[in-house]
Copies of this chain bind each other. A is one copy, B any other.
Amino acid sequence: MIRRLNSNDPGFERALADLLAFETISDRLVAERVDTILQSVKADGDAALLKYSAEFDRLEVERVADLEVSKAELAAAHDRIEPAAREALTLAAARVRRYHEHQLAQSWSYTEADGTLLGQQVTAMERVGVYVPGGKASYPSSVLMNTIPAKVAGVDDVVMVVPAPGGELNPLVLAAAHIAGVDRVFKLGGAQAVAALAFGTETLPKVDKIVGPGNIYVATAKRAVFGTVAIDMIAGPSEILVVCDGKTDPDWLAMDLFSQAEHDELAQAIFIGWDAAFIDQVQAAMARLLPTLERAAIAGTALADRGALIQVRDQAEAIDLINRIAPEHLELSVEDPQAWLPSIRHAGAIFMGRHTAEALGDYCAGPNHVLPTSGTARFSSPLGVYDFQKRSSLIMCSPAGASSLGKCASVLARGESLEAHARSAEYRIRED
């Protein structure tokens, strides 16, 4: 069911490259369809949204305003769901909020000896769109994780769009929107929802940034509107890399690997250890437990297609491999995980110690579950408050500062043949 690799085998490098290969799908036909939808919404606004909602979501309404879910409906969903779910969502939201408050950047400045002030002013974006997938992948945790950082940053308006095929919505998603403080919700999905948020329509307000996962149409639309608005990273399939020193219950590790593999057939679960006998135990636990899973078919396919148990020589080689893989989720199921940290350069989230199941991070530990996938942890970060704040440089020159800097700027501007730049600086030079 799951392949075994050994870093000592001659074919290991090739096998590893094959294992990690994942191409973002970029389909020309999809791109053309999305382009048509984007242009149509940009040109026709609400009318285009009504047409696409009827066509794709079987939702026939007279006005786009009829697609809005009122705050009262959100509150009603919150009151109606199971008390245990309501309590869990409330606890998770509070923990996510507390963690993200640590990420708030502050304005700063310093004054130089001649009185010149330099710094940065940090402000929040005004309005953000959150895309929430509909149907089976409609996750209330995703509403919390995408909305709370924006509200902590100080974003005035969070506008959520969620497709409602036939009008159906997940009450847990609406309850999560209520708890997270979403400002407006529209029953809209697909590329048309992205277009509405990016360009604005008569009814939907234009936003500054669009975040949240979606299918290939949504991802393609987000890439196309990048620049008109900001977007988050284009997400690939979820992955986990579990590293163990051989002293964690193999059943626990097997279930941690399954918790990624059950997401979808493209999800990736990799285990790394340096003790062959222990890897045998993990493999045996996986074989025994897999059939007991509700989503055994999905997890089994994911493990067979993209999973691996990798035997390395030692801890040093494990660390080298971690940094090459740059995993979305890294579980360090080892004795002293903190000792590993200085060596770990690329990972989305690091789950440390035998008790820290990755699933805790998906829901309620506090950190964000929107994480860089497919090796993009080399250059990107978990979604955070910093994604909804921005900075303005501050420069206030004293007369003395303007004079001395003006001399430097004049030389450089003339070196670039930008004479007006030079003369503008030279006006402020004082003859001493």
Chain A contact residues, CB within 8 Å of chain B? 24, 84-85, 87-89, 91-92, 99, 102-103, 108, 110, 116-121, 123, 125-126, 136, 139-141, 172, 208-209, 223, 226-230, 233-234, 249, 251-252, 255-256, 258-259, 261-263, 293-295, 299, 330, 337-338, 341, 344-353, 355-368, 371-372, 376-382, 384, 386, 390-399, 401-402, 405-406, 408-409, 411-413, 415-425, 427-428
A379→B125 contact, CB < 8 A: yes
CB distance from A130 to the nearest CB of B (A): 14
CB distance from A25 to the nearest CB of B (A): 11
Cα(A352)–Cα(B392), bound, Å: 12
Task: Name which residue of chain B comes closest to A172, CB basis.
Answer: B415
**A to B CB contacts below 8 Å, 19 in the list:** A24-B228, A102-B108, A120-B382, A141-B412, A141-B416, A172-B415, A172-B416, A208-B379, A259-B423, A262-B419, A263-B418, A344-B392, A349-B392, A351-B396, A352-B395, A355-B398, A357-B402, A364-B409, A378-B390
Contacts of A229 in B (CB 8 A): 379
A397→B356 contact, CB < 8 A: yes
B377→A382 contact, CB < 8 A: no
Contacts of A119 in B (CB 8 A): 102
Contacts known (A24-B227, A362-B413, A395-B349); A408 close to B92, Cβ less than 8 A: yes
Cα(A126)–Cα(B323), bound, Å: 11
List the number of copies, as a whole number: 2
Contacts of A344 in B (CB 8 A): 121, 392
CB distance from A398 to the nearest CB of B (A): 7
Q: Which of B299, B397, B427 interacts with A249 by CB under 8 Å? A: B427
Contacts known (A256-B424, A345-B126, A416-B140); A393 close to B402, Cβ less than 8 A: no
Q: Which of B259, B360, B366, B425 interacts with A357 by CB under 8 Å? A: B425
* Chain A interface helix/strand/loop/mixed: mixed
B140→A118 contact, CB < 8 A: no
B419→A88 contact, CB < 8 A: no
CB distance from A159 to the nearest CB of B (A): 14
Contacts known (A110-B102, A227-B24, A420-B259); A118 close to B398, Cβ less than 8 A: no
Cα(A99)–Cα(B412), bound, Å: 19
Contacts known (A424-B258, A427-B251); A350 close to B393, Cβ less than 8 A: yes
B419→A357 contact, CB < 8 A: no
Cα(A293)–Cα(B230), bound, Å: 38
Cα(A139)–Cα(B416), bound, Å: 6
A395→B259 contact, CB < 8 A: no
Cα(A401)–Cα(B360), bound, Å: 10
Q: Which of B234, B330, B397 interacts with A360 by CB under 8 Å? A: B397
B419→A293 contact, CB < 8 A: yes
CB distance from A39 to the nearest CB of B (A): 11
Cα(A230)–Cα(B417), bound, Å: 32
B395→A365 contact, CB < 8 A: yes
A359→B424 contact, CB < 8 A: yes
B364→A118 contact, CB < 8 A: no
Contacts of A350 in B (CB 8 A): 121, 392-395
Contacts of A227 in B (CB 8 A): 24, 223, 233-234, 376
A365→B118 contact, CB < 8 A: yes
